Structure 1
Amino acid sequence: MTSSGPDGKARVTVFMRPGCHLCDVAREVVSAVCADLGESFEEIDIDSDPQLLAAYGEEIPVTLVDGRRHDFWRVDPQRLRTALLGG
């Protein structure tokens, strides 16, 4: 039911951490948009990787689409939808 990018990975990546209320909201938005479009997403806990923590610790959640930075702090559902549709 979900599709992946050309390399077989999820098209959307969300860098987050447990207990983050903005991350919970982002998860809901990303999950809904990806479900509507038949896309997949993955969540990565930045606390488990010192490099990710250094890179994204102040901006989580951070969303990537096709490996490119898309949003941070908040995810706009229409903007995400447009990016996934190639707009």
Structure 2
Amino acid sequence: MADSLAFENIDFILSEESRPLRILSEYIYPRSVLEKSDVTDTVVVFGSARVDESGVVSPLYAKYYEEARSLAYAITRRAEAFHKATGR
């Protein structure tokens, strides 16, 4: 066993066993950046992009892609109304 700390071991961090840590970091890092900018009200939606380099959505995922876009639109509209009502 190496004498280094686990988070300093890039082979471990990039391993399949550490996938949950990498996923969690995709939440924690943006949160810390937003907090440093005094952004306090957020909605986090986890998903996975399945769009090829041309920007075309696979037919297999098209339904879910559109549902995610619709959800994002609905959340944005609600947030705009909330902001107008509260100033936040």
Aligning the two structures, in what range does the TM-score lie when normalised by the shorter sequence?
Answer: under 0.3
The structure number with the bigger radius of gyration is 2
- Please identify which structure carries the higher helix content: 2
- Please identify which structure carries the higher strand content: 1
Question: Which of structures 1 and 2 has the larger relative contact order (alpha carbons within 8 angstroms, sep 6+)?
Answer: 1
TM-score (norm: length of structure 2): 0.27
